A and B are shown apart, each in its own frame.
Chain A
Amino acid sequence: MNPREALSMSLRAIRGHPLRSSLTALGVLIGVAAVIVFVILGASLQAAVIGEVGGEDAERIYVWNGPEDAQGPPGAGARAVFTEDDIDRLRAIDGVDGVAPYASVSANGFEHEGDTIAGGDAVATGPDYFTDDAIAEGRAFESGENEVVLTPLAAAGFEEDVAVGDRMTVTFEDGSEAEMTVVGILEDSGPRSPFDGFGEGARVYMPADPIHRTTAENATGGEQRVYPYVVVTADSPENVEAVTSAVRTYLEDESDASEALPGTFGVEIQTNEDLLEQVNGLLATLTGFITGIALISLLVGSIGIANVMLVSVTERTREIGIMKTVGAQKRDVLQLFLTEAAILGLLGAAAGAAVGFAGGYVATRILEFPFVAPLEWALVAVVTGVLVGALAGLYPAWNAARTDPIEALRYE
C-alpha cells in the first residue's frame, strides 16, 4: 500500500479515539521530556561548574598533600607542611610566575562600621593568589600589611556596604583582634581555586604574613610558617606541564615538606585541566545515571503504546477481516498498524521534546545555571519516538496482519 494511504488511514484511526491516543502519546511525551530535561540539566551543570573552575585559569597548578591512596576533592586531608623556604624555592623554578601559600584561618567575627558578622573562615594566602583581572576595585593586599581583599558578596554582607579604603576589625579564635584595611574587591564571588570550594560565597582573603600563625621547624632549624596548600601560577599555559613536573621533583625530593610528611603521605598536584577532566567525568556519570532513570519512563511509555495497539487490534478485528477479504495483504495490515504506532510515538516524542526543552530552560533559570541546549537531542528524541512506537507496535501489528479473515468476520 502507498505510504500516504497508510498515513491517512492511520491518522483517521488515531483521530477516532482522541482521548486514548492523547493518553498514549502522553506516556511517550513524559519519557522523552524527562530524558531531555535531565540531559539539559547535566550539560548546564557541567557548563556551570566549568565556568566556576574556570577555563581561564589554565596556568594554575594546585599543590597539596594527603595519604597516598586518598580519594577525595583537591586538598582533602592535607597537613600544614609547606614552609616559607619551600615557597621561595618554588618561586625560583623556571617558568613560574608566582606562588601563593594557602591556608584557612578561623575567625570569631568581622566588624565593619559597628556591624559585626559572627564567625566564619577567612583565607590566608599571598598576593600571587589573585590574577590581575580578578580584582574589580582597588588592588591585591601586600604581604606583611594588615590588608584584606573581599568578594562582592562579602563586601555586601554588612549593613553598610564595604568600600575600598574602609577599615574592618577581625577577631581571631584566640580572641586577638586585628584592624585591617580593605584594599581590594574582587570581580566576582566565585572560587579562585578548588581550595575555595564551589559556588559563590562571601570570602575574605588576608595576607598569610602576618595573619597565618601555624609554624614548624624548617630544615635549617628555624621556625617558619607552614601551609597545607600552595597555588603555583606558570607564566604561560604551555609551560604548565614542565613547571608541574619541576614542582613535583622539588617537593618530593628536596623540600622541607618531604621531610615533614609522614611516610604514608604524598604530594598531590593537580592542574586546572586535570580538575576539569575529573569534574567532567563525575558529571557525566551523574548525568548518565539520571538519564538512565528517565529512559525507564520512556520504556513505560512504549509499553503504553504496545498495550493500546493490542487493544486497538482486538477492537478492530472485524475491520481487519473486511480489509483482508477485499484484498489487503498481510504487509498492508502490518504497515497500517505500524504507521499508527509510529505516529503515536512521533507525536509523543515531538511534544515531549518541546516540553523537555521548555522544562530544561525553566529548571536552569531556577538553578541559575547557564542554559545549554543540546539541540541534537531534539532529533534523537524524535527518532527515538518513531522507533519506540514502531517497536512497540511490531507485535500488535503482526498480530493484526496474521488475522484470519474468516475468523475475523465472525468476530463480534
Chain B
Amino acid sequence: MPDRTDDVRSTAPSNPIAGAARMFDYWAILYRRTWKGSVITSFVSPLLYVLAMGVLLGGFIQGDPSELEGATSYLDFVAPGLLAAQAMTIVFGEVTYPVMGMVKWHRTYFGMTATSLGIPDVIVAHLGFVLFRVALSCAVFVVVMAPFGVFASVGGALVAFLVQLLVGLAFATPVYALSAGLKNESPFALVYRLGLIPLFLFSGAFFPVANLDRWMEVLAKATPLWHGVDLTRMFTLGQVDWSMVAVHVAYLGGLALLGWFWAVRRLTKRMVS
C-alpha cells in the first residue's frame, strides 16, 4: 500500500441521496453487463401485447365510450392499462429475487454498508436503479404505442409516462421491504401468484372495474394498480378529472412513503444484529 501524504480523504455522505450517488458507478457497471438482454424484451413485449390485446382481441369488442370509461376503442382503453401493468411488472422483477440476492446470496449489501454508506443510502440507490429500469421500459412502451394512435396528445403521453415513475415507486418500496426481510425465496412464488397476477388481471387494465360485482369493484379500486391505471388512462384519453388525479397521486405517493419507512426498518432489522 502506497503512503502518500496528500491524501484525498474518504468521508461520510451528508444524506442518503448523496450516499446513493456514490453507488451510481456500481449500478451503471452492472447495467452495462445486462442491458442487451433487457432491451430486446422491453421493446418486443409491449409490441406483442398491443398487437394481441389491443388490435386483435380489441377487434371483437365494440368501442362504446360509455362502456369503456370514455375510450372510443378497446385499444385506447387497454393501452394505458398495459403501460401501468408493465411498470408494475418491471418493479416486481427488480425488487424480489435481486434484493434477496444482495442480502442473502451474494451479501453485496454487507460489503456496501461496511463502508461509510448506510442502509438508507443503499436502498435509495437500489430504488433509483429500479426507477431507471421502469423509466426506460415505459419510455419504449410509449414510443411503441404512439403509432397506434392511443394518445390523445403529446402532453398526455408525456404525463402518462411520468405517472409510471410514481406507479413504479408505489410498488417498489413495499415489495422491496417485503423482500428485504424474507429468510428465503419461497414466498416469492406466492407474491407473484397471489399478488402480481391478480393485480394484473383484475385492476382495471383489461376491463372496466364497473363490470365486476359491487364488492369486487370496491376491492379492485383499493389496489394500487387500479389507481395507477386510472391515473394513466385519464391522461392518455385526455379526460382529466383533477380531483381524482389528487386522490390517485395521494394514494400512490402515500404508499411509496409508507413502503420506504417499512423498507428501511426491515432491511435494518435484517442486516444489523
The finding on whether chains A and B are genuine partners in a shared complex, rather than unrelated, reads: no
A: residues with CB less than 8 A from B are none
